[in-house]
Amino acid sequence: MSDNLRIVTELLAAQQAGEPVVLATIIKSRGSVPRHSGSKMLIYGNGRTLGSVGGGEMESRVVQEALLALKDGRTRLLPYSLVAPDRGDPGVCGGEVEVYLEPYAPQATLLVVGCGHVGQAVAELGHFLGYRVVVTDDRETLASPDVIPNAAAYLPGSFADALAQNPINASTFIVLVTRNVLVDREIVPLIIHSPAAYIGMMGSSRRWAETKRLLLEDGLTAEDLARIQAPIGLEIAAETPEEIAVSIMAQVIQLRRTAQPA
């Protein structure tokens, strides 16, 4: 298998595994350079690489830029002159290269916990917005295609079992739209220390205060609970399930688009 074919194969594997990765490709080269146009390299979130775009100081700089690209999700075009290290060039080969960086982030997952009227509306809007929608409810008849037609995964039954089937990662946005405080009390300890990008909980300020009181009694800390968005959603005076879904997804979008540095 050629180096480039191996890199493309591993890129697809990373996407399927939900692992963020950056593809670096030399798109232009001139003069004496260690690698030429078409050479590729993968850079993973932990700095691990596969392939090479030239090695040495230049490649080290490419890796650092790739890690930044993973954070902000933006492509980059990196021009390098390999002539004069005393002027800051990363080499002395005598040529020039341009390296294009393409970050590939996992598809964002919207985990909807609770498939009542609001959960149904959130799931439908999330699907429309391009999220991978996963729905779960201990009321097994609700977490089904008959009720929510466009989810990618249906996980009826206990929430612990749902988590085992769909592990939470840093690209997971959790929407808790359950039917009461006791359900939230059971679920929150299972997700509070997860790497989820967002945890939002539906309910009034009074309901959240009671839920928080119970969770603190159960041993969670105020610092633990500070990461929960409650009441969930942006304040737009929403009333219907569909309007509430808009306020929730607006908050998710706001966080997702502004959390990374510009």
- Kindly state whether residues 126 and 247 are assigned to the same domain: yes
Domain of residue 17 covers 3-104
Do 226 and 140 fall into the same domain? yes
Q: What is the pLDDT of residues 101-159, one digit of tens each?
A: 999 988 899 999 999 999 999 999 999 999 999 999 999 999 999 999 999 999 999 99
Q: What is the CATH number of the domain that holds 238?
A: 3.40.50.720
DSSP annotation string for 29-98: EESS-SS-TT-EEEEETTS-EEE-SS-HHHHHHHHHHHHHHHHH---EEEEEE-S-GGGT-S--SS-EEE
Q: What is the pLDDT of residues 209-258, one digit of tens each?
A: 999 999 999 999 999 999 999 999 999 999 999 999 999 999 999 998 88
**Residues 22 and 90 occupy one common structural domain:** yes
Strand order through the sheet with 96-104: 49-51, 40-44, 21-30, 96-104, 76-81
Looking at the structure, do residues 113 and 243 belong to the same domain, yes or no? Answer: yes
Looking at the structure, tell me whether residues 62 and 123 fall in a common domain: no
How far apart CA 107 and CA 254 sit, in angstroms, is: 17
pTM recorded for the entire structure: 0.74
